[in-house]
Amino acid sequence: MEVIILENADAVAQLGARRICELIKKKPNAVLGLATGSTQIAMYQHLIRLYRERQVSFRSVTSFNLDEYIGINPENPQSYRSFMKRELFDAIDIDRENTHLPACENNVNPRKAGSAYERQIAAAGGIDLQVLGIGSNGHIGFNEPTSSLVSRTRVKTLTETTVTDNSRLFKEGEFQPHLAMTMGIATILDARRAILLATGEQKAQAVKDAIEGPIAAMCPASALQLHERATFILDRAAASKLQNTAYYQWVHSENTPLVEKYGNFYEIDG
Ligand code: F6R
């Protein structure tokens, strides 16, 4: 695991966007795993800037989002399809046909919808880089605490913590879904690379549990300890409860000349 601690939230967003661009430059038809949420909005703004500066093109990129609400249709402004359209897709040159979100329409068996999404990911060649945020309860995607560490795309019931955390985005009286279709933890671990972005003090405990705690279903993000190429990109506030901060910073400074000489692990084939 690579742990990178940066000065502030903007630096986290910038590095996240840069990592995506590095990959696309190397592999123009990369398959990206994308996330929604406030942390990602800042990162998408940097991606859009890089696109406008002509530093990257998404023309041949394919994307698979982690999750989508159940109970509202994709045209609803609160859906994650609408979020992605608004925050990223409408501002870049990605082919809409190549953008995927897990969907489970009314009257569709969720088990069938989940395995169909897994097949679509496999048919695209698997995910090259999965971008993640983290919930204050340690969730990744909508894999809430107690999610199976070998889970696949399926329906999850959101916890009260998640519903409360996300209620800031819903107007009073507006329907807030409490079910979602989400990639599973095994689906996430299958990605060839993973980056998790976390900012703000409200994420500090979850980040500590994920990086320095035991691998446990109570903190789904801790499953990333099993991933060969996972990077946590944190601001100081999100890293504030980590115990081994000095070590992570030392590793980072030791790695810098190696990266300059040999390239970072994003440049390794495969
Ligand atoms: C949503 C998702 C979630 C969020 C997490 C953090 O697609 O994957 O796991 O990344 O809830 O959300 P923010 O960034 O809003 O704190």
Which of the four pLDDT bands, split at 50, 70 and 90, describes residue 259? confident
CB atoms within 10 A of CB 234: 29
The pLDDT of residue 29 is: 97
154 pairs with which residues across the strands? Answer: 182
Token pair for 61: 């990129």
- Distance from C-alpha of 93 to C-alpha of 83, rounded to nearest angstrom: 17
Give 111's pLDDT tier (boundaries 50, 70, 90): confident
Average pLDDT of the residues of the chain: 95
Q: Which pLDDT tens digit goes with each residue over 162-187?
A: 999 999 999 999 999 999 999 999 99
For residue 168, how far is its CA from the centre of ligand 1 (angstroms)?
Answer: 13
| Domain residue extents for the chain | 2-263
* CATH 3.30.1380.10 is held by the domain 2-263: no
Mutation probe of ligand 1 site: the residue of 44, 78, 79, 139 with most atoms within 8 A of C-beta: 139
Kindly give the distance from the C-alpha atom of residue 267 to the centroid of ligand 1, in angstroms, as a whole number: 27
Q: Reduce the DSSP state of residue 105 to 3 states and report it.
A: coil
Rounded distance, CA 151 to CA 170, Å?
A: 29
Question: Residue 11: CA atoms inside 13 Å, Cβ hemisphere, count?
Answer: 12
Per-residue pLDDT, 261: 87
Give me the helices (H) in the chain, please: 9-26, 38-52, 80-87, 110-123, 160-166, 185-190, 204-212, 245-262
Per-residue pLDDT tens digits for 185-242: 999 999 999 999 999 999 999 999 999 999 999 999 999 999 999 999 999 999 999 9
Q: Which residues are catalytic?
A: 67, 137, 139, 144
Please identify, by atom number, the ligand 1 atom nearest to the C-alpha of residue 166. 15
Residue with tokens 């903190």: 219
Q: How far apart are CA 89 and CA 87, in angstroms?
A: 7
Beta-bridged to residue 155, according to DSSP, are: 181
pTM value is 0.96
Which one has a higher pLDDT value, 268 or 155? Answer: 155
Helix segments in 167-264, DSSP class H: 185-190, 204-212, 245-262
**pLDDT, tens digit, 9 for 90 and up, residues 30-52:** 999 999 999 999 999 999 999 99
In angstroms, the Cα distances linking 96 to 40, 101, 141 are 19, 11, 22
